[in-house]
Structure 1
Amino acid sequence: MYSLGLVSLLFWNCGTETAPEAETEVGEASVAEEFVANPQPVTEREVGTLEIGASAPDFRLAGTDGQFYSLEDFAEAEVLVLVFTANHCPTAQAYEERIKQFASDYGAKGVQLVAISPNSPLGLLYEELGYSDLNDDFVDMQIRHRDAEYNFPYLYDGDDHAASLQYGPVATPHVFVFDEDRKLRYTGRLDKTEKPGTANAEDLRQAVDALLAGREVEEPTTKTFGCSTKWAWKTAYRDKVEEEWRAKPVALEMIDVEGVKELMRNEDSDKLRLINVWATWCGPCVLEYPDFMVLQRMYGARDFEFISISADKPGQHDKALAFLEKIHSPVRNYQFDGEDIYELVEAVDPDWNAALPYTILLAPDGEVVWRHQSEVDFLALKRAIVDHEMMGRYY
């Protein structure tokens, strides 16, 4: 992590389950009442990284806690650390706990850490989200701040890069350390080892320790490895990827009970297999189906595949195919060829109560990783996928 009357009747629950309510309260203040994100096209330009000795450019950015922040809000800090980071980036996620630990260790020493997301949602592809449950928009930043329990402000700069264009982060994460006069004294990496547990932000700590002790930073500039900044003008590749996706063919094959059982055993692949059983007459099925395409695009380049099974009657093949073509579902699509729907139910999962939609995630040996009757909570499903041992959030 979408008038009434006739539409409500049409899409009233296909089964007996009710969908989990979406969580809407995030943080202590209602950011939606004060700030609504509005990513804008930005003209392409050369972006240089702020040079050592330069003054910190001011900004006014919305935080995920419902407040707006500028440099003045951190005036009491002896040292100010700005970390440009991102929800989706594997490298940034690998450093999350180190950033939190740094903020905890140095908060009482007069050091203020502030995280800024520089990325524009306009410049980010579904295919770049394969290591995350979230994208880089403002709402998902609120979710990450809340669920990861960030102990520092997390600011959004995805509308027009107002701050990021002045600081020039080349990747996420990218650190900028300013002294009491807000002169840049260090810029670069947190440390040189991405894998969690192998380092503890030594480069950042050494720079800050030097400033607190009144010394010069020995190595004021380091290279920073990570995900490239997603500037708003980076759309050409997005268009190409979208064209390639739309060019993939959509087909619908018939499948019998034995074929369904074989799918459920998942012995013919080395991937997590997500299966959704749906029907054209099931309102919730139709409404949520496009989100499964998003999952395929997010995780399809990794050890993951999505398969659909239509529970429409065999005589409704053309109708089911027309829906899949309209949605554009270029995955393995099947339609059950039997007249006894309960044979399909038992073949998919004996614990399924037969209500549609039904979704199940299987490991390569057929082990059930996650299952859900009724509409899916896609945030929970994304986490079940990306946090599985076959996947993971970083390299």
Structure 2
Amino acid sequence: MKIQTVLGIVAAALIAPAFGQEIPKVLEIGSPAPEFSLKGTDGKTRTLADYKDAKALCVVFTCNHCPDAVGAATRMEQIYQDYKGKGVAMVAVNANNPGSLTPDELGYSPYNDSFEEMTPFAMENGWTFPYLYDGENQKFATACGAQATPHVFLFDGGRKLVFTGRMDDMKRKSGPTEKSYLRDALDATLAGKEVGEKTPRPFGCSTKWLFKASNVEKDEANWKAKPVTVEDLSVDLAKKLRANGTDKIRLINFWSTTCGPCVAEFPELVETYRRFQNRPFEFISISIDPAEKKAVVGKFLTSRHAALSDKTAPSVKEEGRTTNNYIWTAENTDPLADAIDKDWTGALPHTVLLGKDGKILWKHTDKLDIVEVRRQIIKALAE
């Protein structure tokens, strides 16, 4: 687990009691815009007063991880480009606390909702409007009653709420849409008219309130309690792993306990497996340590909690397998390479992403960029 996630859990545990466990109500139409002072990805702190001259202020509560937020991201930028010349200001606000997200909620984006990960998310989506962070204490989100990601709040020139809800009906789909509730509301507001549909129900992942940190603690405890096993890998089984033929894509990692980069990246691979465990995805580790080091390998895997997910266990059992961790016991690694990746040079670590038909979709030798790995997994799952 990343350091910022651990810190998020601690912060959430300390702050949550003050907020209780009740989800705040959505701000009512006609209410004044709540004050805010929030830091953005550009290092600047924005306040409500900064937008005093705007004809309308559009606040979109969103995040880095939610598939609905990801799908809406490019449409947000297009709306901003279409309306900024008309006097409309837009800000995106991430109110999620990363310590309130369990790993299996992160299977649709390479990013968590930390402040640090907001910058690459915004850059990848070409955002030119401010992206602000409210995940530390969630005061602004609480005042607005932000329910989901994305959730839009549109305030008129007098900073009265005239529209709140979903942008459109695209949900997690990306690309343009013919029907946009937000555009209709913006057009009406700029024309001095009453907004027609004022409160279309927002749709997306729920706001990750601070009190949800307790869910993360329980999930961590459950995962760490799972048994970790390692079995010998034969040539025949290696060939079956490569052929795949299941409904899952597979990420196979060749590693060793004596390989520094292997040891360093392994926790992130386990975290990645946990992120995608609810999707048709499987992580398989293959140790190249000597056969007599099997106990050492098992101890390492246990210390890194490289368990088999309950979601994956049934399909593994159907294949006649009992684990997701293996050790190559033969001295010669050539048969292993021939079985899984004949182009593998033997250098460690080596990682291969397999499609459902066994085709190699992506591979990498040496230490991984874990964000790129997750990006490749998401790409493969979308095909």
TM-score, reference length from structure 2: 0.89
Q: What's 1:32 paired with?
A: none
- Identity across the alignment (%): 43
Q: Are 1:334 and 2:326 matched, yes or no?
A: yes
Q: Equivalent of 1:101, from 78, 84, 87?
A: 78
The 1-side partners of 2:175 and 2:119 are apart by 26
Once structures 1 and 2 are overlaid, which stretch shifts more, 304-313 or 331-340? 331-340
Q: Equivalent of 2:352, from 344, 351, 360?
A: 360
Q: What's 1:234 paired with?
A: 212
Q: Are 1:270 and 2:243 matched, yes or no?
A: no
Give the superposition deviation at 1:220: 1.9
Q: Are 1:380 and 2:379 matched, yes or no?
A: no
Once structures 1 and 2 are overlaid, which stretch shifts more, 195-204 or 105-114? 195-204
Give the superposition deviation at 1:201: 5.6
Q: What's 2:159 paired with?
A: 182
Could you give the per-residue CA deviations for residues 185-228 of structure 1, whole angstroms, max 9, x where no partner exists?
11111123323357356211111111111111122222111111
Q: CA RMSD of the aligned region, Å?
A: 1.9
TM-score, reference length from structure 1: 0.86
Q: Equivalent of 1:248, from 197, 202, 226?
A: 226
Give the superposition deviation at 1:343: 3.1
The 1-side partners of 2:88 and 2:179 are apart by 15
Query: 2:65, 2:111 within 8 Å by CA — same for their partners in 1?
Result: yes
Q: Which runs of 5+ in 2 are unaligned?
A: 309-323
Q: Equivalent of 2:186, from 204, 208, 212?
A: 208
The 2-side partners of 1:201 and 1:75 are apart by 29
Q: What's 1:289 paired with?
A: 266
The 2-side partners of 1:301 and 1:226 are apart by 18
Q: Equivalent of 1:351, from 336, 340, 343?
A: 343
Q: Which runs of 5+ in 1 are unaligned?
A: 3-35
Query: 1:302, 1:391 within 8 Å by CA — same for their partners in 2?
Result: no
Q: What's 1:298 paired with?
A: 275
Q: Are 1:42 and 2:34 matched, yes or no?
A: no
Q: Are 1:323 and 2:297 matched, yes or no?
A: no
- Structure 1 counterpart SS, 2:59: strand
Letter in 1 for 2:332: D
CA gap of 1:58–1:200, structure 2 versus 1, over 3 A, is: farther
Give the superposition deviation at 1:391: 3.5
CA gap of 1:355–1:279, structure 2 versus 1, over 3 A, is: same
The 1-side partners of 2:141 and 2:298 are apart by 46
Higher helix share: 2
Q: What's 1:259 paired with?
A: 237
Give the superposition deviation at 1:363: 0.4
Could you give the per-residue CA deviations for residues 211-257 of structure 1, whole angstroms, max 9, x where no partner exists?
11111112222211111110011123223322322232211100122
Matched pairs, number? 357
Query: 1:174, 1:224 within 8 Å by CA — same for their partners in 2?
Result: yes
Q: What's 1:124 paired with?
A: 101
CA gap of 1:201–1:175, structure 2 versus 1, over 3 A, is: farther
The 1-side partners of 2:11 and 2:161 are apart by 28
Give the superposition deviation at 1:131: 0.8
Query: 2:34, 2:140 within 8 Å by CA — same for their partners in 1?
Result: yes
The 1-side partners of 2:80 and 2:146 are apart by 20
Q: What's 2:48 paired with?
A: 71
Letter in 1 for 2:164: T
CA gap of 1:209–1:227, structure 2 versus 1, over 3 A, is: same
Q: Are 1:168 and 2:145 matched, yes or no?
A: yes
